[in-house]
């Protein structure tokens, strides 16, 4: 709990502005709530788990979200490392409300401000399987966490990029759905991250509001006719929210505001904003952090799949594909090689990746790396074990391990398995953790060095028993 005595004071100017917008009573209730502990919630990965967490209470606006009574040390839970769930504050999960009715012709989605990946992983869980998701983050320091989180979650049909919105736009990329979870003044984080109170100023509201408009200008230009733009911030003020909706409506051809198919948001403590279609989450009304969101549809008719994309679908099989991949993977057309590495990505995903690379956009990853040929072996890559779509097509035995072995594996320690020869997939509670190479008298642990459990000391703590 953060207090004034600890130096975490809610800025006077913020309280004044908040009071004059929403009323003094609301400001008082807000102040009381931000000095309470934050609620804890997780969102399950529907491709990896189909059970709710033990004791979890459903987040009313997201069928994959659950509140927990306590905050366990998630970083020592093998299931967290396996991407079976994502720790995400509940209000943000409201994005799911705009995804439930997407048609199968939603081909390309863009998460423009994506790190560390909370909403990208949510999008990937709910977008049609064949829709390509471009998860973009311009900040070099933050993009690796995005990449890591998406890999854990099973990065099927995902392209991770590190670019500013104008760089993406210049590539000619056009999307059916774009999420702008904009950089903002962070008011909604006053409880969860008390330091954000010290970083807030009226000046940052004003400068964020200008930056958000610039991002929206670019996003709108990358949106297909008939496409959907979802905009959110973790703030309450109108400059960063309602004013952005007004800006878009005044400057661009908006077909309509999209209303989530939720009968009674008020009963869930969700407040309606000053403009129709704006939803606001206050910590004193909802069980979640501060958040505001709206979605718009661009005017015009939806376009058909381009000729180039259709041609790609008829692409011939790559003759260099190793026989192990030829024998195990059904969608051969999705396999290509890049140097030693074999990658799984749909023809449509390849078209998009090529487009971005040609425009010199920094692409961190595209699709699933299946593995590479090393000498006589085909060595499977970690992202194949994590993959939602084709993990089950990997031609290697699954070896279920107990808690201690799972932790030893995630620390890259030596583990003992029954003698056998070849690559094996280690699973915990049925969910893949990664590969080993069993050479009979010894097991080579292939868990990636960069993902090793960082908090080694915490491993002596009791493991979260969530599933």
- Which stretches of the chain bind ligand SAM, using CB under 6 A? 92, 112-119, 137-139, 142, 164-165, 181, 183, 211, 215
Largest CA distance in the chain: 72
Q: How far apart are CA 38 and CA 186, in angstroms?
A: 15
- 116 is known to lie in a ligand binding site: yes
Beta-carbon contacts of 152 under 8 Å, excluding residues fewer than 6 positions away, are 81, 82, 83, 386, 451
For residue 204, the minimal CB distance to ligand SAM (Å) is: 13
Cβ pair 427, 433 in contact under 8 A: yes
Q: Pick the closer one to ligand SAM by CB: 115 or 293.
A: 115
**Residue from 62, 208, 234, 425 carrying the catalytic annotation:** 234
For residue 267, the minimal CB distance to ligand SAM (Å) is: 26
Nearest by Cα to 302 from 220, 219, 227: 227
Q: Pick the closer one to ligand SAM by CB: 84 or 436.
A: 84
- 118 is known to lie in a ligand binding site: yes
Q: Pick the closer one to ligand SAM by CB: 156 or 167.
A: 167
- 114 is known to lie in a ligand binding site: yes
For residue 92, the minimal CB distance to ligand SAM (Å) is: 6
For residue 69, the minimal CB distance to ligand SAM (Å) is: 24
Q: Does the N-terminal peptide bond of residue 266 adopt cis geometry, omega within 30 degrees of 0? A: no
Q: Pick the closer one to ligand SAM by CB: 88 or 427.
A: 88
Q: How far apart are CA 61 and CA 64, in angstroms?
A: 9
Judge whether 234 counts as a catalytic residue.
Answer: yes
For residue 355, the minimal CB distance to ligand SAM (Å) is: 19
- 113 is known to lie in a ligand binding site: yes
Q: Pick the closer one to ligand SAM by CB: 229 or 401.
A: 229
For residue 40, the minimal CB distance to ligand SAM (Å) is: 17
- 163 is known to lie in a ligand binding site: no
Distances (CA, A) of 273 to 2, 18, 90, 93, 283: 28, 13, 19, 18, 15
- 193 is known to lie in a ligand binding site: no
Phi, psi (5° rounding) for residue 317?
-70, 145
Q: Pick the closer one to ligand SAM by CB: 281 or 384.
A: 281
> Which positions are catalytic?
234
Binding residues for S-adenosyl-L-methionine: 113-119, 137, 181
């Amino acid at each position: 709990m953060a207090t004034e005595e600890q130096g975490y004071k809610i800025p006077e100017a913020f309280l004044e502005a908040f009071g004059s917008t929403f009323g003094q009573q609301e400001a008082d209730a807000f102040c009381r709530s931000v000095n309470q502990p934050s609620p804890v919630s997780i969102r399950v990965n529907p491709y990896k788990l189909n059970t709710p967490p033990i004791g979890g209470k459903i987040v009313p606006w997201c069928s994959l979200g659950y509140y927990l009574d306590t905050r366990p040390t998630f970083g020592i839970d093998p299931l967290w490392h396996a991407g079976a769930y994502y720790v995400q504050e509940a209000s943000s999960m409201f994005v799911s409300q705009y995804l439930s009715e997407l048609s199968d012709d939603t081909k390309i989605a863009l998460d423009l401000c994506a790190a560390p990946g909370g909403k990208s992983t949510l999008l990937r869980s709910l977008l049609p399987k064949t829709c390509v998701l471009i998860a973009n983050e311009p900040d070099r320091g933050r993009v690796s966490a995005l990449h890591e989180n998406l890999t854990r979650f099973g990065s099927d049909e995902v392209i991770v990029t590190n670019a500013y919105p104008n760089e993406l736009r210049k590539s000619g990329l056009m999307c059916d759905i774009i999420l702008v979870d904009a950089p903002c003044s962070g008011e909604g984080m006053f409880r969860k991250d008390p330091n954000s109170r010290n970083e807030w100023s009226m000046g940052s509201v004003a400068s964020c509001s200008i930056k958000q408009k610039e991002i929206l200008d670019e996003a709108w230009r990358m949106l297909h006719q008939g496409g959907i733009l979802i905009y959110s911030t973790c703030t309450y003020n109108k400059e960063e929210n309602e004013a952005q909706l007004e800006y878009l409506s005044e400057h661009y051809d908006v077909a309509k505001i999209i209303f989530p198919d939720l009968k009674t948001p008020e009963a869930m403590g969700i407040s309606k904003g000053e403009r129709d279609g704006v939803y606001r989450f206050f910590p004193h009304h909802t069980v979640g952090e501060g958040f505001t969101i709206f979605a718009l549809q661009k005017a015009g008719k939806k376009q058909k799949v381009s000729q180039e994309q259709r041609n790609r679908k008829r692409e011939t099989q790559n003759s260099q594909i190793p026989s192990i991949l030829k024998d195990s993977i059904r969608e051969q057309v999705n396999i290509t090689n890049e140097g030693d590495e074999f990658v799984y990505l749909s023809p449509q995903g390849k078209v998009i990746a090529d487009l971005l690379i040609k425009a010199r956009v920094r692409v961190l990853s595209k699709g699933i790396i299946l593995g590479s040929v090393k000498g006589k072996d085909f060595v499977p890559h970690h992202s194949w074990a994590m993959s939602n779509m084709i993990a089950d097509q990997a031609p290697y035995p699954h070896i279920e391990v107990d808690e201690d072995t799972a932790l030893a594996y995630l620390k890259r320690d030596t583990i003992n398995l029954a003698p056998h020869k070849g690559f094996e997939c280690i699973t915990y509670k049925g969910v893949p953790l990664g590969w080993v190479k069993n050479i009979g008298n010894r097991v080579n642990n292939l868990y990636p060095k960069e993902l090793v459990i960082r908090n080694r000391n915490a491993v002596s703590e009791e493991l979260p028993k969530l599933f």
